[in-house]
Copies of this chain bind each other. A is one copy, B any other.
Amino acid sequence: MSDKAVVLVSGGLDSSTVLALALQQGYRCYTLSFDYGQRHRSELEAAMRVSELMKVQEHKIVRLDLGTIGGSALTDTTIDVPEQETAGIPVTYVPARNTVFLSIALGWAEVLEADTIFLGVNAVDYSGYPDCRPEYISSFEAMANLATRAGVEGSKLSIQAPLIDMTKGEIISAGAALGVDYSQTVSCYQASLEGLACGKCDSCRLRIEGFNQAGIPDPTRYKNSA
């Protein structure tokens, strides 16, 4: 078994916590981010910062033009990011995003001969996103084991989603205990280039609530308080 792991990092709170958990478990971590035409490009700066702070083996950014297929407020500038809670699958859902990201992580894992991929999906807070459910993750893992050289040659690839059943408050408590510096992470769907958060979108609202639940002061830099 390899001690290498590919960790998907967005620069946000969840994936930074996952990275800390993977490192704590003794994995040599290779972090992967995507420049996919997202509005919130300060994410990528945060992903680089967090990867460097946590001393990963290597951080790669793959360019991928998901805006070409459209369909989401996060990649299509003609769709507004909602500033109130919405019912059903939100417009910020990017079609098949986790599947695309995991697939590319799978390719890199194959090149690195890593047996483990970590990602920060969470079924509690993102219950409206189909690709954040536990049955989806198991199904991707089964497919991945048929898709690759490793599958043919008999080793086993594992997809780890350690946050899947945790609340935002529990995630923040776990990360804080491992020393994650949340002031370096960006969650906002419409953060400024400098990484200042709006404090209003779904992602900001969940994050604010999470710090409240955890009873930890929120170190996020907001636009209004700037």
Taking A142-B143, A148-B96 as contacts, is the C-beta distance between A69 and B133 under 8 angstroms? no
> A99 — which chain B residues lie within 8 A by C-beta?
103, 106-107, 143-144, 147
Determine whether the beta carbon of A139 is less than 8 Å from that of B146: yes
Determine whether the beta carbon of A65 is less than 8 Å from that of B68: no
- State in angstroms the CA–CA spacing of A96 and B95 once bound together: 19
Residues of chain A in range 58-86 having any CB-CB distance to chain B below 8 Å:
60-66, 68-71
**A interface residue count range (under 10 / 10 to 19 / 20 to 34 / 35 or more):** 35 or more
Asked whether any CB of chain B lies closer than 8 Å to the CB of A222, the reply is: no
Asked whether any CB of chain B lies closer than 8 Å to the CB of A15, the reply is: no
- Which of A68, A69, A151: most chain B CB closer than 10 A? A69
User: Quick one: copies of this chain in the complex?
Assistant: 2
Asked whether any CB of chain B lies closer than 8 Å to the CB of A131, the reply is: yes
Determine whether the beta carbon of A93 is less than 8 Å from that of B139: no
Determine whether the beta carbon of A95 is less than 8 Å from that of B70: no
- Which of A62, A63, A100, A108: most chain B CB closer than 10 A? A100
Taking A139-B143, A143-B139 as contacts, is the C-beta distance between A96 and B104 under 8 angstroms? yes
- CB closest residue in chain B, given A148: B130
- CB closest residue in chain B, given A68: B62
Asked whether any CB of chain B lies closer than 8 Å to the CB of A97, the reply is: yes
Taking A63-B63, A136-B143, A143-B140 as contacts, is the C-beta distance between A148 and B95 under 8 angstroms? yes
Determine whether the beta carbon of A108 is less than 8 Å from that of B95: yes
Asked whether any CB of chain B lies closer than 8 Å to the CB of A181, the reply is: no
> A110 — which chain B residues lie within 8 A by C-beta?
71, 95-96
Taking A139-B143, A143-B142, A152-B130 as contacts, is the C-beta distance between A95 and B107 under 8 angstroms? yes
User: A residues near B, CB below 8 A?
Assistant: 60-66, 68-71, 89, 93-100, 102-104, 106-108, 110-111, 130-131, 133, 135-136, 139-140, 142-144, 146-149, 151-152
